[in-house]
C-alpha cells in the first residue's frame, strides 16, 4: 500500500539542500512505499531543517494533515508526531491505560529540531483515543482531524487502515425521525430521590401497539450524537426494517438541576434499590403511558462499563421484568460473575461486547465462558479498541438487531 503525500515546497524533493530552492511553490507528489521510507524522509528533512532558516517541518506536517495522515499510518505501523518547543512529550490513551508514564510511550526528538516522534504498531482494524502530554500538560493532537467525544470531553482519534466508520451512526437520506421527549422526572420511593429520563418513540408511533422497550443507563450519553448516537441508530435501523419499531427510555444518572452530581457510581454497582426502581416504578409508568409490550421477553436493559455490570445485575436479580440484557465493556466485579456461575440457567438473552486493548476483556471472557457452559442464548463480540464511546457507538446496532430483529430468526 502506498501513501500519497502532497508537498507544498520543492524542499520535499529530498535531494534539495540549498536555501535558494526553498522559494519554489510547485506542488510535488511523494510516495512512501514503506514505513521506513517515511522515516528516511523525516531524517532528510531534519538535515535540511538544521541547514536552513526555513521551517520545512511546518509545510511537511501541513501536507500530512491535509491527507488525514497525522498520526502517520502505514499498514500496522504508526508514527505519532508533535512539533514544537518542549522538554518532554509522551502519548497517553486507550493503548496504555491513559498512563503517560507507561513504558515505551515517551517521544523522541529528532536532531533537536522540535519534531517529536513515537513509533508503535497496532492491529489493522484498531481505533483508539489518545492525547499528547507535553511537559505534563494534556492536549489534543491539533493536527489530527479526527476526534472522539468522551464523558470528559474530546480526545484525538487514531484510525487504523481496516477500521470501518459505523455508517449506522450517520442519518441516512429519507429517514423519518422518531420523537424524543424533553426531560421527564419521577420520584423514586425505592431510592428516595428524583430521577430524570427521556423517552424515544419511533416515527408513526401513534399507529402502533405492543412495542418492545429498551431501557438505557447513562442515557444522556447514549442519546448524545457525539457519543452513542443511539437516536440516529434507532431511526436508521427502523427505517431499513432491520429491527421492529422500538421505544427507548434513556435514564439519566445525573441529579436533576445539578448535572455535576452523577450518581452512576452508586446506582450501577449492584444496587438493588436502583434495580427495583427501574423494574417496579419506571417500567410501570412507561407501560401505563406508552404503547409498550408488557412482557419481559420484549423488555431490554442496556449499559456500558458500570452500566454493563448493572445490566448483568438486572438479569440476575430482576429477570421477572427483563429478559434482554445488553452489555458494553462490562466493569464486572467478582460477585456478579460468581452469581451467574452458581445459579441455574436464567430466562435471559444476552448481548455482550468488549474491547481488547486495556478494556474489560478479562472479566468479559470469564462471563462468556460461564454463559457458554450454562447454555445461555447470547452473542459476544470483541474489538481492537479501548474503553471509549468510539467503541460502544459502533456496537449499538448489534444488540438492537439481536433483540428486536424483524426476521425473529436471530
Q: The CATH number of the domain where 32 resides is what?
A: 2.60.40.10
Phi-psi sector, 218: left (phi>0), alpha (psi -120 to 50), beta: left
Question: Pairing state of beta strands 254-255 and 247-252?
Answer: unpaired
> Is 225 in the same domain as 374?
yes
Which CATH number does the domain housing residue 208 bear? 3.40.50.1820
Taking the C-alpha atoms of residue 168 and residue 398, their distance in angstroms, rounded to an integer, is 11
Name which of 12-16, 99-103, 301-305, 353-357 the model is least confident about.
Answer: 12-16
Give me the percent of the chain exceeding a pLDDT of 70: 90
Residues of the chain by 3-state class (helix, strand, coil), percent to 5: 35, 30, 35
Q: Are residues 215 and 283 in the same domain?
A: yes
Neighbours of 33 (CB within 10 A): 11
Q: Does 195 lie in the same domain as 115?
A: no
Is residue 410 included in any domain, yes or no? no
Last residue of a domain, one of 163, 198, 213: 163
Q: Which of 341, 399, 347 shows the shortest CA–CA distance to 372?
A: 341
Same domain, 122 and 176: no
**Separation between Cα atoms, residue 129 and residue 98, nearest integer Å:** 9
Residues 233 and 328 in one domain: yes
Domain-embedded: residue 26 = yes
The last residue of one of the domains, among 120, 140, 163, is 163
Q: How many CA atoms lie within 13 A of 180 on its CB side?
A: 20
- DSSP letter for 171, please: P
Q: End of a domain among 115, 130, 163?
A: 163
Residues 158, 21: one domain?
Answer: yes
Task: Return d(Cα 275, Cα 28) in angstroms, integer.
Answer: 63
| 181 and 142 in a common domain | no
Judge whether 179 lies within some domain. yes
My answer on whether 246 and 320 are in the same domain is yes
Identify the pLDDT of residue 247: 99
**H/E segment holding residue 334:** helix 334-342
Residue 134: all three cell numbers together: 507535553
Do 283 and 179 share a structural domain?
yes
Q: Judge if 262 and 361 occupy the same domain.
A: yes
Beta strands 349-355; 324-330: pairing state: parallel
Question: Would you say residue 196 lies in a domain?
Answer: yes
When comparing pLDDT for 3 and 27, which is higher? 3
Query: Whose CA is closest to 194, among 81, 71, 282, 103?
Result: 282
Q: Residue 45's pLDDT is what?
A: 86
Range of the domain at 54: 3-163
Domain identity same for 196 and 85: no
Is pLDDT at 15 greater than 90 in this prediction?
no
Average pLDDT over residues 257-279: 98
> What average pLDDT does the chain have?
92
pLDDT at 47: 81
Q: Place 51 in a pLDDT band, splitting at 50, 70 and 90.
A: low
Residue 351 lies in a domain: yes
In a domain, 73, yes or no: yes
Percent of the chain having pLDDT more than 90? Answer: 84
pTM of the entire structure? 0.91
pLDDT at 258 over 80: yes
pLDDT of the residue at 307: 99
Angle at 114 between CA 113 and CA 115, to 5 degrees: 90
Q: Convert the pLDDT of each residue in 187-246 to its tens digit.
A: 999 999 999 999 999 999 999 999 999 999 999 999 999 999 999 999 999 999 999 999
Summarize pLDDT for 17-43 with one digit per residue, the tens: 333 444 444 434 456 899 999 999 888
Domain count, the chain: 2
In a domain, 206, yes or no: yes
* pLDDT value of residue 54: 58
List, in sequence order, every residue forming a beta bridge with 120; answer none if it has no partner: 78
**Sign of the four-CA dihedral 310, 315, 321, 323:** positive
Cell 455482550 belongs to residue: 352
Task: Please report whether residue 409 resides in a domain.
Answer: no
183 and 110 part of one domain: no
Between the CA of residue 175 and those of 168, 171, 179, 225, 291, what are the distances in Å?
12, 7, 13, 16, 22
Amino acid at each position: 500500500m502506498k501513501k500519497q503525500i502532497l508537498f507544498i515546497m520543492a524542499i520535499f524533493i529530498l535531494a534539495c539542500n540549498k536555501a535558494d530552492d526553498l522559494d519554489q511553490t510547485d506542488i510535488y507528489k511523494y510516495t512512501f512505499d514503506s514505513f521506513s521510507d517515511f522515516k528516511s524522509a523525516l531524517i532528510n528533512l531534519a538535515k535540511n531543517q538544521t541547514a536552513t532558516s526555513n521551517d520545512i517541518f511546518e509545510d511537511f506536517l501541513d501536507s500530512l494533515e491535509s491527507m488525514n495522515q497525522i498520526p502517520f499510518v502505514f499498514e500496522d505501523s504508526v508514527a505519532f508526531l508533535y512539533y514544537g518547543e518542549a522538554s518532554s512529550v509522551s502519548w497517553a490513551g486507550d493503548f496504555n491505560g491513559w498512563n503517560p508514564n507507561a513504558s515505551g510511550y515517551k517521544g523522541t526528538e529528532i536532531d533537536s529540531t522540535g519534531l517529536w516522534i513515537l513509533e508503535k504498531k497496532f492491529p489493522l482494524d484498531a481505533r483508539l483515543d489518545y492525547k499528547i502530554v507535553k511537559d505534563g500538560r494534556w492536549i489534543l493532537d491539533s493536527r489530527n482531524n479526527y476526534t472522539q467525544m468522551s464523558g470528559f470531553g474530546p480526545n484525538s482519534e487514531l484510525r487504523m487502515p481496516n477500521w470501518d466508520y459505523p455508517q449506522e451512526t450517520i442519518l441516512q437520506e429519507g429517514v423519518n425521525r422518531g420523537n424524543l421527549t424533553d426531560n421527564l422526572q419521577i420520584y423514586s420511593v425505592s431510592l428516595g430521590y428524583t430521577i430524570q429520563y427521556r423517552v424515544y418513540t419511533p416515527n408513526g408511533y401513534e399507529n402502533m401497539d405492543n412495542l418492545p422497550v429498551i431501557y438505557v443507563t447513562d442515557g444522556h450519553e447514549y442519546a448524545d450524537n457525539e457519543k452513542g448516537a443511539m437516536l440516529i441508530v434507532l431511526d436508521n435501523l427502523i427505517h431499513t426494517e432491520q429491527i421492529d419499531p422500538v421505544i427507548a427510555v434513556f435514564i439519566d444518572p445525573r441529579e436533576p438541576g445539578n448535572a455535576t452530581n452523577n450518581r452512576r457510581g452508586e446506582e450501577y454497582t449492584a444496587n438493588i434499590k436502583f434495580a427495583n426502581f427501574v423494574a417496579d416504578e419506571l417500567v410501570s409508568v412507561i407501560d401505563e403511558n406508552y404503547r409498550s409490550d408488557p412482557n419481559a421477553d420484549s423488555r431490554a436493559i442496556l449499559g456500558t462499563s458500570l452500566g454493563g455490570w448493572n445490566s448483568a445485575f438486572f438479569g440476575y436479580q430482576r429477570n421477572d421484568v427483563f429478559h434482554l440484557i445488553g452489555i458494553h465493556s462490562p466493569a464486572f466485579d467478582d460477585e456478579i460473575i460468581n452469581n451467574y456461575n452458581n445459579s441455574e440457567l436464567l430466562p435471559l438473552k444476552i448481548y455482550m461486547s468488549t474491547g481488547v486493548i486495556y478494556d474489560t476483556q478479562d472479566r468479559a471472557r470469564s462471563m462468556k465462558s460461564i454463559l457458554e457452559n450454562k447454555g445461555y442464548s447470547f452473542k459476544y463480540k470483541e474489538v481492537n479498541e479501548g474503553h471509549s464511546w468510539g467503541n460502544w457507538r459502533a456496537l449499538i446496532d448489534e444488540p438492537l438487531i439481536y433483540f428486536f430483529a424483524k426476521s425473529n430468526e436471530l
